[in-house]
């Protein structure tokens, strides 16, 4: 007989599972070992953001480049390797250096997932970006001094702004 204080899987899909313990229910990813987000500014002082349609919210969302770690069959990558891969796939930029600047839960009441944030330095554009074969990503390079007005305009036009963008801007603008 199972201990009622143990975590129970209520339902499992290809990418997520719904679990419960005591009176709590939450979701867990079943296909990766972590999540990374990359905050970056070009040598021309432009903030690098991505935008893509997100089915759960039914709208385009402006975000920093981000993605899953070890989410493909046979992957064995560390967080920094995944961050470099995601930055290149989504934006077409390579980073000369990555600095790990933070980690935390994006939705602690719904998931135990942690996002590790990297600051990308010494960017070099090497391809168009736009994501892998499963994604349709628009890359935006926004002049740093115009970022607030640009985000407000995107929101007014009907896009959502991922709140993690504001956390990322903190890391880009601190001394």
133 is catalytic: yes
In this prediction, residue 144 carries a pLDDT of 96
Strand, helix or coil at 40? strand
Segments forming the whole domain that contains residue 22: 1-31
91 & 5 share domain: no
Whether 3 shows a pLDDT value over 70: the answer reads no
Whether 29 shows a pLDDT value over 80: the answer reads yes
Residues counted in the chain: 175
CATH code for position 134:
3.90.79.10
Q: How far apart are CA 55 and CA 52, in angstroms?
A: 10
Q: How many CB atoms lie within 10 A of CB 62?
A: 20
144 & 84 share domain: yes
166 & 145 share domain: yes
In this prediction, residue 71 carries a pLDDT of 84
Beta carbons of 116 and 82 less than 8 angstroms apart:
no
Catalytically annotated residue among 80, 133, 146, 152: 133
Q: How confident is the model at residue 37 (pLDDT cuts 50, 70, 90)?
A: very high
Whether 1 shows a pLDDT value over 90: the answer reads no
74 & 150 share domain: yes
In this prediction, residue 72 carries a pLDDT of 79
Q: How far apart are CA 92 and CA 95, in angstroms?
A: 10
68 & 122 share domain: yes
Q: How confident is the model at residue 113 (pLDDT cuts 50, 70, 90)?
A: very high
Whether 4 shows a pLDDT value over 80: the answer reads no
Helix spans in 33-96 (H): 79-91
Tell me the two tokens of residue 116. 């590790």
5 & 53 share domain: no
Q: Per-residue pLDDT averaged across 31-48, rounded?
A: 96
Whether 49 shows a pLDDT value over 70: the answer reads yes
Q: How many domains does the chain have?
A: 2
> Mean of the per-residue pLDDT values for the chain?
94
68 & 93 share domain: yes
39 & 20 share domain: no
Q: How far apart are CA 18 and CA 77, in angstroms?
A: 26
24 & 37 share domain: no
The more confident residue out of 134 and 118 is: 118
109 & 142 share domain: yes
DSSP codes, 118-154: EEEEEEEE-S----STT---EEEEEEGGGHHHHHHHH
In this prediction, residue 148 carries a pLDDT of 97
In tens, the pLDDT along 56-102 reads 999 999 999 999 998 877 778 999 999 999 999 999 999 999 999 99
b or e along 146-160 (b: 16 or more beta carbons within 10 Å of the residue's beta carbon)?
Answer: ebeebbeebeeeeeb
10 & 55 share domain: no
47 & 1 share domain: no
């Amino acid at each position: 007989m199972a201990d009622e204080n143990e975590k129970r899987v209520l339902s499992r899909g290809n990418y997520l599972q719904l679990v419960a313990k005591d009176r709590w229910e939450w979701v867990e990813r079943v296909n990766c070992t972590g999540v990374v987000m990359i905050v970056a500014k070009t040598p021309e002082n432009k903030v690098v953001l991505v935008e893509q349609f997100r089915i759960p919210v039914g709208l385009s969302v402006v975000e920093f480049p981000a993605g899953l770690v070890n989410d493909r069959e046979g992957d064995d990558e560390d967080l920094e390797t995944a961050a470099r891969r995601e930055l290149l796939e989504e934006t077409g930029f390579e980073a000369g250096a990555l600095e790990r600047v933070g980690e935390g839960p994006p939705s602690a009441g719904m998931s135990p997932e942690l996002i590790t944030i990297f600051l990308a330095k010494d960017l070099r554009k090497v391809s168009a970006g736009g994501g892998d074969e499963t994604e349709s990503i628009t890359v935006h390079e926004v002049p740093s001094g115009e970022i607030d007005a640009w985000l407000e305009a995107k929101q007014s036009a009907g896009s959502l702004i991922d709140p993690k963008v504001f956390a990322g801007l903190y890391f880009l603008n601190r001394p």
